[in-house]
Structure 1
Amino acid sequence: MQPFIMCKILSLFVCYLLLMFLVLFSTTIQAQNQPASKLLLHAARVFDGDNIRTDMSVVLKDGRVATIQPRAQTITDDDTLVMDLGDATIFPGFIELHAHLTYQNVPAEIVIRHGITTIRDLGGPVHAPYGGAGSLRVLTSGPIITASGGYPIVTMGAENLAIAVADEQEARAAVKQLAGKGAVIIKIALEPGGEAGAPWTSHHLHHHGSAHPESHHPGHDNDLHHATHHSQHKQAKWPVLSESVVKAIVDEAHHHKRKVSAHVAELTGVRIALNAGVDEWAHMPCESIPEALLKQAVMQQVKIISTIDTLSKCPGITHNAAIWAALGGELLYGSEIAHPDVPWGINAQELMVMMQTAKLDSLDAVRAATSKAGRHLGMPLLGTLQPGAPADLIAFKGNPLLNLKRLEYPDLVISGGHMIVNQFGPAR
């Protein structure tokens, strides 16, 4: 046989082997990304959304939690894939209630790999809920309703971020439009500006391109930036929505079975929000709020989204959090993903400052990011590992409750039964 022909045959054979390898590799990858019909997870510890349980097994089937029970009571069959995680801890996927994902172009695939399986995206384009089966579950508010020339328009413009309304009729129309397009909550701004230490007054919060997925603490440059703008903070007087307009927003939102979240940071906004019956404060207020008003908010069953880490320079934040907790107010986890100093995923620093300022233990803080957050969203099984819950879970080697920083780096992430991260090895 001539050398030329032999080379040609060998080339064809090599191509054939390469093609077969690619087909097998592609099939393997697809199989890993597809949910197993039934997946059984054993772990030394399981946090079910409410309590830690030891030596437990969780069965996932068809994208849902099928059972959670003691390992000794678990029976397997030939259709079940098994992962024995050993000395590990399983949690429901965390829920981030205050993010700016779309507006700031934060990659969803990074967020989910770092433990957040559901986010509520506040501000930005409005969409019907999407994701949750192998990708980040995203719930949106759509643009923030505000006064003409008010926050955030005055600092960042209106495009895809804010809707200005002048009266009750325009306010109701805006709510109806947002609800019709899939908004799960209506967000409004009651921000006159001028609070010392407030990041939004100095553009710090939403500055494009500055988000950093790993760092937590503002550097010296940011400290100088805040100090430089301190006098400007005191002078800011941005227009805010009137109480009658906010009442119309709340009434229309409730008619469409939506809650209203208000950006409030000082006394004026807090009073308007309370008098109008707003359901949620998007931040712990920046300025110190009188105890009587915080007590009124508790009585009205207002919920506060924490964001304490991002507002750490605000002089009233520690006082407000401590009084709120002492009064029995409900504090829910939100770390403001897209803020320059917040990780793109679980923020351990936020959990720790919640524990410090509101006197929570570690399980209380985790509940605020899981089961309590799911109930607040009107999705009571979300954020739990109860039967019927979405098969969203994260797991860690060892016990991350002993070192909360570990929560930022899951060893296992499952979304709707689909494997996203797996450092434990294949199911068998």
Structure 2
Amino acid sequence: MSAPAPSVSAVEAEPRGGHFVIRGAEIVGVGVADLAVKDGRIAAIGSVPAGPPELRRAGRWIVPAAIDSHVHLSFLPGGRRLLDAGVAAVVDLAAPLSGLAEREAPPELVVLPSGPMITARGGYPTRDWGSDGYGLEVESAAAAEQAVDTLADAGAKVIKVPVTDAPALPPATLRALVTRAHARGLKVAAHALLDRHARVAAEAGADVLAHAPVEPLQARTVEAWAGRAVISTLSAFGGAAGENLTKLRAAGMTVLYGTDLGNTQIAAISGEEIDLLLEAGLDGQAILTAMTTAPAQYWGLDQATPPGPGVLRVGGVASFMIVAADPRLTPGTLAEPEAVFVAGVRR
């Protein structure tokens, strides 16, 4: 049986930032250990001498704050709500070019933006939901390469490209785009929902599927994506997305948790997405990994100075959650954290 939650008066008396120690909780992947926070960083993990203010959390679990690898902050702003719910970093996959210079998210939220999708003249999404600057249209391989440079120079951390039926970028243009993105040190995320589109994206060298595709994937398509990555977004799309995620994961793809916030409406860790990941065959540890360490490694946040969200490391940013149950056994507890700390401050 888990320990009772602290009373309201006790919570109000507890430290909410600065220098403090959490004692008695199990740090997932480490065991029961003290966790010391100072000046927004993790100062120690292990046995910490008495002295700093303390939070007693016996019977609770500490996990890194989550990373959502597919959001649209310009389409549905929710940065502060995300932070309050335990999401400390996001990959913003498609926003107007102006968003790269005019940050709308709070400074505590780590944002890896793509800027607009690089698309064909009149291509997705410029004729529907993304008509107001969410697509950057090009007509040639050279123009696609220049578009990559424009976005990279403006601060993009990833390039997003739609792979759809016509009008769409031809395969040679896609390959040129991917080559230039890689030369600039950027991964390419492909919006490719159908089997034939996912195969074209793989053949062009794209790095990550922005969604688990919604049409059943043929074996050769799954094989073409082996060893790369896929962002889940199962709660945003029906169809065969869950079955495809199961196949892609079995082929060795890295699964990254993502909600497609903007298309979905809840600016928080999604309990529905967690449930669908369970149905797709991920256990609690795999879901926690897809929300934390896997995207931290994939997007390079674990190599930042200091190490960013998604990992708990001495010297790293103190962004973590305290949850009431072991998320490896009860992953739904991740959607209901008892406490959230971002950069060492309780939300």
Given the two structures, how large is their TM-score scaled by the length of structure 2?
Answer: 0.87
Provide the C-alpha distance between the structure 2 equivalents of 1:67 and 1:131, rounded to a whole number of angstroms. 33
Q: In the alignment, residue 60 of structure 1 is paired with which amino acid?
A: V
Give the superposition deviation at 1:328.
2.3
Q: Who is 1:302 aligned against?
A: 228
- The equivalent residue for 1:66 is 43
Q: 2:26 aligns with which of 25, 41, 45?
A: 45
- Which letter does structure 1 place at the counterpart of 2:195? L
> Measured at CA, do residues 134 and 41 of structure 1 come closer, stay the same or move farther in structure 2, by a change above 3 Å?
farther
Shift of the alpha carbon at 1:57?
1.2
Instruction: State whether residues 129 and 140 of structure 1, in contact with CA within 8 Å, keep that contact through their aligned partners in structure 2.
Output: no
The equivalent residue for 1:89 is 61
What is the distance in 2 between the residues matched to 1:355 and 1:117? 23
Distance in 2, matches of 1:155 and 1:100, equals: 15
Is 1:186 equivalent to 2:159 in the alignment?
yes
TM superposition shift of 1:113: 0.8
Q: Give the aligned residue type for 1:330.
A: T
Alignment-derived partner of residue 300 in structure 2: 378
Counterpart check, 1:76 vs 2:53: no
Q: Distance in 2 between matches of 1:157 and 1:332?
A: 24
Q: How does 1:358-373 map to 2 (within 5 A)?
A: 359-373=281-295
| Paired amino acid for 1:117 | A
Q: Residue deviations 1:36-60, cap 9 Å, x none?
A: 1x2211243212xxx2x43221112
Q: Which has the larger displacement, 319-328 or 271-280?
A: 319-328
Deviation at residue 401 of structure 1 after TM alignment: 5.1
Cα distance 1:371–1:39, how it changes in 2: closer, same or farther (>3 A)? same
**Alpha-carbon distance in structure 1 between the residues aligned to 2:200 and 2:251:** 21
Contact 2:64 2:310 in 1 (8 A): yes
Hey, what's the Cα distance between the residues in 1 that align with 2:22 and 2:116? 41
Gaps of 5+ in 1: 1-28, 193-237, 421-428
* C-alpha distance after superposition, 1:35-91 (max 9, x if no partner): 41x2211243212xxx2x43221112232222212xxx32133xx222112221111
Contact 1:115 1:410 in 2 (8 A): yes
- Identical positions, percent: 27
Give 1:258-337 correspondences, 5 Å limit: 258-298=186-226, 301-312=227-238, 314=239, 316-337=240-261
- Is residue 107 of structure 1 aligned with residue 78 of structure 2? yes
Q: What is the SS of the residue equivalent to 2:146?
A: helix
| CA contact 2:126–2:133 (8 Å) conserved in 1 | no
SS at match of 1:96: strand
Contact between 1:46 and 1:89, CA under 8 Å: does it hold in 2? yes
Where does structure 2 lack aligned partners over 5 or more consecutive residues? 1-11
SS at match of 1:142: coil
- Size of the aligned set, in residue pairs, is 328
Q: Distance in 2 between matches of 1:280 and 1:54?
A: 33
Structure whose residues are more often helix by fraction: 1
Q: How does 1:333-348 map to 2 (within 5 A)?
A: 333-340=257-264, 342-348=265-271
Give CA-to-partner distance per residue, 1:352-394, whole Å, 9 cap, x none: 211221x221011111110001001112243111212211111
Larger radius of gyration: 1
- CA deviation after TM superposition for structure 1 residue 405, in Å: 3.8
Partner of 2:32: 55
- For the aligned residues, what is the CA RMSD? 2.4
Per-residue Cα deviation, 1:288-334 (whole angstroms, up to 9, x for no partner): 11112211211xx320001112112x1x3233122222222221111
Inter-partner Cα distance in structure 1 for 2:273 and 2:189: 20
